[in-house]
Structure 1
Amino acid sequence: MNLHRKLEITSVFLFLVSSIFLFWNILPSFYAYWQTSPFTSGFYFVLSLSAGYIAADFFSGMVHFLCDNFGDENTRYFGPAFIQPFRMHHSDPIDITKHDFFETNGNTCLVVLPVMSVYYFLEESLSVWVSFSFLFSMTSIVLTNQFHKWAHFENPPRWISMLQTTGLILPRTMHSLHHTPPFSSHYCITCGWLNPLFEFVKFFPKLKTSIESIFLLNKKR
Structure 2
Amino acid sequence: KVQRAQSRNHSRELLQYAGERFSLVGVETGNAYTLGLVDFVTDVSLDTTRDIVIDEAIPFWQIAVHGLVTYYADPVNTVANPERQLLRSLEYGALPSFILTAEPSWKLRYTQSSHLYSTLYTDWLAEIARCYQTINQSLAGVHGQFIVDHRRLADNVYATTYEDGTTVVVNYGRRLYWYAGHFVEPNSFIIVAQEG
Q: Identify whether the pair has TM-score above 0.5, normalized to the shorter chain.
A: no
TM-score computed with the length of structure 2 as normaliser: 0.26
TM-score (ref. length: structure 1): 0.24
Higher relative contact order (CA 8 A, sep 6+): 1
More helix by share: 1
